[in-house]
Chains A and B, each alone.
Chain A
Amino acid sequence: QSALTQPASVSGSPGQSITISCTGTSSDVGGGHYVSWYQQYPGKAPKLMIYEVSNRPSGVSNRFSGSKSGNTASLTISGLQAEDEADYYCSSYTNSSPVLFGGGTKLTVL
């Protein structure tokens, strides 16, 4: 099964908002509220940022938000800060395997 589709890179200036998309099919992203998002700094383990499309774990800044429309989920980061520069991955439960990840998006804060 192919990975979910994410843009390879996005960028924004401090204070701006950016959105990272994650496109799948009706068998995964579009099939329910099972999309999550992870932040990963170089050489570090991924960290959960959003679960079940739009829920934030305790301790995650409210500048991070998630949404979904059809087969595409989105992660929006508002009030961009230098510390947000990292790689971001989406994942989704699928009909055929426990989970599928996106290819990852490198966020650059200009």
Chain B
Amino acid sequence: EVQLVESGGGLVQPGGSLRLSCAASGFTFSSHSMNWVRQAPGKGLEWVSYISSSSSSIYYADSVKGRFTISRDNAKNSLYLQMNSLRAEDTAVYYCARISFNWFDPWGQGTLVTVSS
């Protein structure tokens, strides 16, 4: 079964840092590009970041550029999102999602990040 499981969310103060992880199983992780997508409470989906299978191509949404870093470890079948200088508006459920050509499937169950003092 193809599965993505996020972890690492929690409560952090404004200006703080957090590292999210996404463990992949059931498919050849090293062959697929991956993404982070977030959803603020009661709001819609927002694409955050993309990383190609070999990490050669990386993209960020303007809202997180310069503060977030996406990375992956193909040997560990894992995707990461290092989040620095966190703001209240970064509060959201963060999903990792595999991308095939131009659609996301599957998605993980999400991990909640709350930025508050």
- A interface, CB within 8 angstroms of B: 3, 34, 36, 38, 44-48, 51-52, 57, 89, 91-93, 97-104
Contact = CB atoms under 8 A, between A and B. Distances in A.
Contact of B102 (A46, A47, A93, A103): A93
Given A89-B45, A97-B61, A103-B44, 11 more contacts: A38-B45, A45-B109, A51-B100, A52-B103, A57-B105, A91-B45, A93-B102, A97-B59, A99-B102, A101-B44, A101-B45
Contacts of A93: 102
B27 interface: no
Contacts, number: 65
B44 A104 contact: yes
A47 B45 CA distance: 12
B35 interface: yes
Nearest to A37: B103
Main secondary structure of the interface of B (DSSP, over half): strand
Interface size class of B (residues with CB under 8 A): 20 to 34
B42 to A, nearest CB: 10
Interface string B1-39: 000000000000000000000000000000000010100
Contact of A45 (B35, B46, B95, B101): B95
B47 A36 contact: no
A47 B47 CA distance: 15
26 contacts: A3-B44, A38-B45, A38-B104, A45-B95, A45-B106, A45-B107, A45-B109, A46-B104, A46-B107, A47-B107, A48-B105, A48-B106, A51-B105, A52-B103, A57-B105, A91-B47, A92-B102, A93-B102, A97-B47, A97-B59, A97-B61, A98-B35, A98-B50, A99-B102, A101-B37, A104-B44
